[in-house]
Amino acid sequence: MASDFQTIPIIDIGPLVDKADDPKMAEDKQVLEVVRLLDEACKMTGFFYVKGHGIPYSLIEEVRELTHKFFTLPYEDKIKIKMTPASGYRGYQRVGENITKGKPDMHEAIDCYKPMEHGEYGNLGTPLEGSNLWPDNPLNFKSLMEEYIDLLKDLSRKIMRGIALALGGVPESFEGELAGNPFWVTRLIGYPVLSDAKRSEMQDSDVGCGAHTDYGLLTLVNQDHNINALQVRNRAGEWISAVPIPGTFVCNIGDMLKIWSNGIYESTLHRVINNSPTYRVSIAFFYELNFDACVEPVNFCKEKVNGVATVEKAVYGEHLVKKVLTNFVM
Ligand SMILES: N=C(N)NCCCC[C@H](N)C(=O)O
Ligand SMILES: O=C(O)CCC(=O)C(=O)O
Ligand SMILES: [Fe+2]
């Protein structure tokens, strides 16, 4: 259960990243200390920063710089990769097109999903079938993003090995049938500057992204420096800023991990409000389960609450498709 946290912990995951593929990782003192910190963070806040992750600083900066460049292009250029139902909901969406709890969000974005072949998951996958739409300007956009996504996939797998241990499982708990072929989502997001009048009034309609939880296992957010916009809700209902810490990722757990852990870890509500005079970019990478994975509370997490399941099971792909179809009314 989330607590009345006032700050979000920073975890140096260096030892976990180094030893995540070592068969003896679960006996390593330094790894176990990282695991303990992950457990505490997942229980207390559902959010934490990671440092010592091994992703080059220059790459982290460059993906945001290129994303800034794309969003400054004229609208006619951006809609060349327009997101539609026919594109598998992949591509560019303008400000206001994404909807959270019935209200348009004040952000534009490029949405990407793991490529999916026609018929790969039967009817379950149909709405998301396709491959990603990348702009041809900036020139190296596609190759840079694909490199970034590959690295974040592997990093997430390693963090999930730590989280598996934290919950009392084996390191491979989130591999094999459940997440051996993990689905992923990447959102490149831009939050425009509000007019001065709006900034002083701050109406509801000026929310960059309304309060929501993420859908899968683990999210890694790479956000612009010097703008406090991402906010996380604590148990008392206060919104706590996830202030940018250059070189780190903000990590948070999603709905599927809440189910698997029988609610021992919760997917914490968060929102984005860019009330600053500067355009803000963030790259959110979502590491998920196998698209067709059916997830239910694992026995050893049920045992911790008298053997009772406190959450409903779900098929990941169904949960995602339902969300995507209500996020965009087209
Ligand atoms: N894949 C994720 N988590 N996307 C979050 C998108 C923003 C919230 C969305 N409109 C909603 O209502 O869920
Ligand atoms: O822009 C951010 O900092 C977070 C975005 C987010 O929460 C999401 O896309 O799910
Ligand atoms: Fe989110």
The domains found in the chain, sorted by start residue, are 10-325 (2.60.120.330)
pLDDT of res. 204: 56
Q: How confident is the model at residue 1 (pLDDT cuts 50, 70, 90)?
A: low
Q: How confident is the model at residue 194 (pLDDT cuts 50, 70, 90)?
A: confident
Ramachandran angles phi, psi of 80, nearest 5°: -60, -25
> Which residues are in the CB-under-5-Å shell of ion ligand 3?
214
Mean pLDDT of 291-297: 97
**Centroid of ligand 3 to alpha carbon of 189 (angstroms):** 11
* 147 vs 101: CA distance, rounded Å: 33
Q: How far apart are the first and last CA of the chain?
A: 37
Mean pLDDT of 42-63: 98
Mean pLDDT of 18-32: 97
Mean pLDDT of 240-257: 98
pLDDT of res. 75: 97
Contact between residue 325 and residue 128 where contact means Cβ atoms under 8 Å apart: no
pLDDT of res. 305: 85
ipTM of model over 0.90: yes
Kindly state if the Cβ of 214 falls inside 6 Å of ligand 1.
yes
Q: Mention every residue, 6+ apart, whose C-beta is less than 8 A from residue 192.
A: 95, 106, 107, 108, 274, 279
pLDDT of res. 203: 59
Q: Which of 106, 113, 209 to mutate to test the pocket of ligand 1 (most atoms within 8 A of CB)?
A: 209
Mean pLDDT of 154-170: 98
Name the nearest CA neighbour of 19 among 29, 4, 10: 29
CB 236: neighbour CB atoms within 10 A?
11
Using the predicted structure, report yes or no on whether residue 202 has a pLDDT greater than 70.
no
Task: Give the three-class secondary structure for 233.
Answer: strand
Mean pLDDT of 13-27: 97
Residue tagged 């701050």 (tokens): 202
Distance of CA 296 to the CA centre of its chain: 21
pLDDT of res. 195: 74
pLDDT of res. 86: 97
Which atom of ligand 1 is found nearest the CA of 320? 1
Q: Mention every residue, 6+ apart, whose C-beta is less than 8 A from residue 85.
A: 127, 330
- The burial of 101, by beta-carbon neighbours within 10 Å (0-12 exposed, 13-18 middle, 19 or more buried), is given as exposed
Mean pLDDT of 6-19: 98
Residue tagged 């975890």 (tokens): 11
**Centroid of ligand 2 to alpha carbon of 299 (angstroms):** 32
Ligand 1 atom 3 nearest Cα:
214
CB 118: neighbour CB atoms within 10 A?
9
Kindly state if the Cβ of 187 falls inside 6 Å of ligand 2.
yes
Q: How confident is the model at residue 2 (pLDDT cuts 50, 70, 90)?
A: confident
Contact between residue 129 and residue 116 where contact means Cβ atoms under 8 Å apart: yes
pLDDT of res. 231: 97
**Radius of gyration of the chain measured on its C-alpha atoms:** 19
Contact between residue 274 and residue 192 where contact means Cβ atoms under 8 Å apart: yes
pLDDT of res. 293: 97
* 43 vs 8: CA distance, rounded Å: 12
Contact between residue 237 and residue 247 where contact means Cβ atoms under 8 Å apart: no
Contact between residue 36 and residue 13 where contact means Cβ atoms under 8 Å apart: no
**Centroid of ligand 2 to alpha carbon of 191 (angstroms):** 10
* 104 vs 205: CA distance, rounded Å: 7
Using the predicted structure, report yes or no on whether residue 264 has a pLDDT greater than 60.
yes
Mean pLDDT of 192-213: 79
Task: Give the three-class secondary structure for 273.
Answer: coil
* Average pLDDT for the chain: 95
Q: What's the angle, vertex CA 208, arms to CA 207 and CA 211, rounded to 5?
A: 70
| From 162-166, 167-171, 203-207, 316-320, the region with the lowest mean pLDDT | 203-207
